[in-house]
Structures are given as structure tokens and as C-alpha cells.
């Protein structure tokens, strides 16, 4: 392979593949929202767009050595009492030293939890409105709806 | 239009991709987002301050309590909005509709669902109740509980599910969830603290101020679960029947 391309892949794609996936997914959603004529397909595009943003945020919170953001030695007070003679262990527990590199960043997870909730709410409401549009106009195609809305257009 | 869309999408995509040059690489623990003061505070202090090992739930229900409260209100408003947009009272809500030939799915599907429904619901309640110690919480457990009612409606017909979880009861449940959340915050006000400052509740809850925050998270999650369960089922029943609520899918 051409060394320039190989260099580009090694420096820009491999360590940052999560961003590439989020941009590609987001552009699929944006393309669907711009060009699709059917309202339901537009909504599908919106859902893909939201998923891309969620993926982006969660992937920033990843740490190489990190697990889930739930403290794993919880409930180890008994061990502390039992092994009080071992100096280092009890000292560690007394000051509650937590290595922050061992836990993924919890903040993106929280923000995306709320974003998912908003996504479900907007999607549900949008589906309800499109059902209503279908009831009023008999179609979900955007150009036909616009045609019927135009004053001179045939009803 | 298609060509225009393709060009616009391509330009935006190239701009976004060129911006990723400055972003931290995958899994870098020293990135600005992961090494900042806020994130470090949550990771290092959550258990010491609230006695809750699950940082996500602690941040959700305690540190960012306002956010989650209004999030629950957003779901509630979305449910009300769907009813306002879609609900159709013509030729529905009469007792005749309940006796329609709305038998749901076939025998095998009904039998299987009746077997697994109790387990789904117990697991959903476990996810809500254990949400501050293991992955889970009010939103997740509420969605599972709502899905169990949707499964009931799919298998046995919407009329049967509505006999258990009627529209009136759905909206009461949703409102009760918000009431639990906001009421818990007002209780903090009445006991002399700030709104949603759970640590002042130690005078009425067992344990110290840290345990009060832990218990309060459970209460708040239960409130969230009430609203989410009710609104999920309400969304399904309205969307699947075009607002008539007479016969499901």
C-alpha cells in the first residue's frame, strides 16, 4: 500500500475510528432527513441521527483500562474490620482511594440516558402527528401534502 | 434535490471529520472530558458522599436531580401531547368495544407470554429497586415494565390489557410518578434544606445524611419508573389504534 495512505490510516482512522463511525451514521441520518420524501423515512433518519450523537458521547467516556462506572469494592467494610491488621489494605480503604482510570467517565452516560428519553418522547409525538397528518391528507408523501396545502392545488 | 442533499451531506461530513483531528483518541484516560474536574469529582466522591456505588444513578438522581425531574416531566408532556393529538373518542370507550373479537395472538404465543410475563415484571421491579447498586434505574426498569404491558396487549389483545391498566389508571400513574419526585423535593424544602437536597432528610429516614441520600435516590427512581411505565403503555395503545383504544394490532 502507498505509505502515505498507510500513514494516514494509522494516524487518523485507527485511533479515532469511533468518530468516523459517528460521522458516517450521522450523515446517513442527515441525508435521509433532507432528501427523503416520506415523513416516516424522515423520522427514521432522525432516529439514526440521534443514535450517532449518543454513540459519539458514550465513546468519549471510554477509558482504556476502565470498566463500568460502578464502584466494585462496595460493601467491603467487613473485610476492612476482619483484616484490620494488614496495614496497607486498611489504609487504602480508610481513605477510600479510588483510581479514576479504572472507571469509565460517568457523565456522558448520564447525559445520554436523558437524551434517549427525549428521543423516545420526540419520536412518539412525531409518530402521533404523522398519523394525524395521514388521517387529514390521506398520504405521508411530503410533495403530495404540499400540493394539497397550496391554495390553487387540487384537494 | 437528491444531488443537493448529497453535496450538503458530503460537505458537512468532511468538515466534521476534519474536526476529529483535534479530538482525543479512543480510550485515552487523559482526554479533556475524562480527566476534567467534574468527572473526577463524581468518580472519587460519589461513594463517600452518597454511599451509592453506581455513579450514573447517583449523578442522575442526586447531583443532577433537577435535570432528571424535568426529564420525567418531558415524558409526561409527550404522553399528554400524544393523547391531545391522536385521541379519538368517537365510537370507543363503550363497554361494547371490550367484547369485540379482540383475542390477540394465537394459543402458543398467549401461553408463552403468560409464562414469561411475571418474570419480566419481577426483573423490571428488580432493575428499579436495585438501580443504585447495579446497572439500572427508574428509566430502564420503567421501560421494561411498560414493555411487559405492551406484550400483554400484543398477546391477549388491547382490551384485556386495558382492563388491567385502563387509560384513566395510566394517566393517574404518570401523574403520581411526577408527584413522588416533586413531592420528595418539597419535603426537603419543608425540612429546612434546598429543593432536592436529600441530606436534610436524615431526621425522618434511618441512618445518617449519606444513607438519606441513598434512600432518596430509590424513592426518586420509583417515581420515574411510575411515569415511564404509564407513558410507554399510553404511547403504545394510542399509536397502535390511531387513538381509538378499541382494538390493538
Give the pLDDT confidence of A95-112 residue by residue, as tens digits: 557 788 888 888 898 999
DSSP A105: -
Count of domains for chain A: 1
HSE-up of B216 (CA within 13 Å, CB side)? 35
A90 belongs to a structural domain: no
B53 lies within 8 A of chain A by CB: yes
3-state secondary structure of A141: strand
Chain B CB contacts of A70 under 8 Å are 53-56, 133-135
A120 belongs to a structural domain: yes
CATH number, domain containing residue A144: 1.10.287.3510
B62 belongs to a structural domain: no
DSSP B94: S
Question: Taking the complete model, does pTM exceed 0.90, yes or no?
Answer: no
A71 belongs to a structural domain: no
Reported ipTM: the value is 0.84
Annotate chain B with three-state secondary structure.
Answer: CHHHHHHHHHHHHHHHHHHHHHCCCCCCCCCHHHHCHHHHHHHHHHHHHHCCCEHHHHHHHHHCHHHHHHHHHHHHHHHHHHHHHHCCCCCCCCHHHHCCCCCCCCHHHHHHHHHHHHHHHHHHHHHHHCCCCCCCCHHHHHHHHHHHHHHHHHHHCHHHHHHHCCHHHHHHHHHHHHHHHHHHHHHHHHCCCCCCCHHHHHHCCCCCHHHHHHHHHHHHHHHHHHHHHHHHHHHHHHHHCCCCCCCCC
Q: What is the pLDDT of residue A75?
A: 53
Domain span at residue B189 reads: 103-249
DSSP B131: T
B146 belongs to a structural domain: yes
Stretch A49-57: mean pLDDT: 93
Task: Please give the grid coordinates belonging to residue B118.
Answer: 411475571
Q: What is the pLDDT of residue A96?
A: 59
| Distance from the B87 Cα atom to the nearest Cα atom in chain A, whole angstroms | 10
Q: What is the pLDDT of residue B221?
A: 93
Q: What is the pLDDT of residue B240?
A: 87
- The span from the CA of A108 to the CA of A120, in Å, is 18
DSSP A11: I
Residue of A nearest to B42 (CA): A106
A133 belongs to a structural domain: yes
Of A31, A96, A135, the CB nearest to B5: A31
B11 lies within 8 A of chain A by CB: no
Q: Which of residues 76-95 of B touch A (CB under 8 A)?
A: 77-79, 81-82, 85-86
CB spacing of B29 vs A118 below 8 angstroms: no
B71 lies within 8 A of chain A by CB: yes
Q: What is the pLDDT of residue A82?
A: 43
A83 belongs to a structural domain: no
Count of domains for chain B: 1
Q: Which residue has the cell 477509558?
A: A63
- pLDDT band at A74; cut points 50, 70, 90: low
Domain span at residue A117 reads: 1-62+104-155
Stretch A128-149: mean pLDDT: 89
B7 belongs to a structural domain: no
B236 belongs to a structural domain: yes
In total, chain A counts a number of residues equal to 155
B180 lies within 8 A of chain A by CB: no
B153 belongs to a structural domain: yes
For chain A, helix, strand, coil in percent to 5 are: 70, 5, 25
B44 lies within 8 A of chain A by CB: yes
Per-residue pLDDT of chain B (249 residues; tens, 9 = 90+): 789 889 999 999 999 988 888 888 888 888 888 888 888 888 888 888 888 888 888 888 889 889 999 999 999 999 999 999 988 877 555 444 454 556 677 888 889 999 999 999 999 999 999 988 888 888 999 999 999 999 998 888 888 888 888 889 999 999 999 999 999 999 999 998 888 888 888 888 888 888 888 899 999 999 999 999 999 999 998 888 887 777 655
B114 belongs to a structural domain: yes
- The span from the CA of A14 to the CA of A9, in Å, is 6
User: Closest Cα partner for B65 from B188, B174, B196, B191?
Assistant: B196
| Distance from the A56 Cα atom to the nearest Cα atom in chain B, whole angstroms | 11
Percent of chain A residues past pLDDT 70, beyond the cut:
83
Amino acid at each position: 500500500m502507498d505509505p502515505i495512505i498507510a500513514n494516514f490510516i494509522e494516524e487518523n482512522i485507527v485511533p479515532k475510528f469511533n468518530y468516523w463511525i459517528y460521522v458516517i451514521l450521522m450523515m446517513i441520518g442527515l441525508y435521509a432527513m433532507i432528501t427523503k420524501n416520506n415523513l416516516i423515512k424522515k423520522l427514521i433518519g432522525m432516529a439514526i441521527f440521534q443514535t450517532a450523537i449518543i454513540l459519539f458521547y458514550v465513546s468519549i467516556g471510554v477509558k482504556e483500562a476502565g470498566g463500568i462506572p460502578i464502584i466494585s469494592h462496595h460493601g467491603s467494610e467487613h473485610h476492612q474490620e476482619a483484616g484490620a491488621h494488614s496495614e496497607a489494605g486498611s489504609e487504602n480503604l480508610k481513605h477510600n482511594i479510588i483510581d479514576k482510570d479504572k472507571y469509565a467517565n460517568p457523565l456522558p452516560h448520564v447525559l445520554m440516558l436523558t437524551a434517549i428519553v427525549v428521543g423516545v418522547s420526540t419520536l412518539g409525538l412525531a409518530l402521533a402527528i404523522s398519523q394525524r397528518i395521514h388521517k387529514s391528507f390521506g398520504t405521508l408523501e411530503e410533495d403530495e401534502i404540499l400540493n394539497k396545502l397550496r391554495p390553487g392545488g387540487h384537494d | 434535490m437528491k444531488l443537493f442533499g448529497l453535496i450538503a451531506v458530503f460537505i458537512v461530513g468532511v468538515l466534521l471529520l476534519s474536526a476529529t483531528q483535534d479530538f482525543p483518541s479512543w480510550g485515552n484516560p487523559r482526554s479533556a472530558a475524562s480527566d476534567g474536574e467534574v468527572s473526577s469529582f463524581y468518580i472519587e466522591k460519589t461513594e463517600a458522599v452518597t454511599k451509592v456505588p453506581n455513579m450514573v444513578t447517583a449523578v442522575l438522581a442526586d447531583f443532577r436531580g433537577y435535570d432528571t425531574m424535568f426529564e420525567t416531566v418531558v415524558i409526561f408532556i409527550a404522553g399528554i401531547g400524544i393523547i391531545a393529538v391522536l385521541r379519538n373518542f368517537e365510537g370507543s370507550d363503550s363497554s361494547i368495544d371490550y367484547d369485540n373479537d379482540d383475542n390477540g395472538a394465537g394459543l402458543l404465543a398467549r401461553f408463552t407470554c403468560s409464562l414469561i410475563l411475571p418474570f419480566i415484571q419481577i426483573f423490571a421491579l428488580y432493575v428499579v429497586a436495585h438501580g443504585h447498586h447495579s446497572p439500572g434505574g427508574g428509566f430502564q426498569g420503567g421501560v421494561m415494565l411498560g414493555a411487559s404491558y405492551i406484550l400483554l396487549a400484543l398477546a391477549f389483545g388491547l382490551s384485556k390489557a386495558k382492563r388491567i391498566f385502563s387509560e384513566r389508571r395510566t394517566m393517574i400513574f404518570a401523574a403520581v410518578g411526577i408527584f413522588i419526585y416533586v413531592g420528595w423535593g418539597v419535603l426537603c424544602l419543608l425540612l429546612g434544606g434546598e429543593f432536592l437536597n436529600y441530606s436534610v432528610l436524615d431526621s425522618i429516614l434511618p441512618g445518617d445524611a449519606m444513607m438519606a441520600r441513598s434512600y432518596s435516590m430509590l424513592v426518586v427512581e420509583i417515581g420515574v419508573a411510575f411515569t415511564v411505565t404509564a407513558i410507554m403503555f399510553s404511547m403504545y395503545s394510542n399509536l397502535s389504534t390511531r387513538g381509538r383504544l378499541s382494538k390493538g394490532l
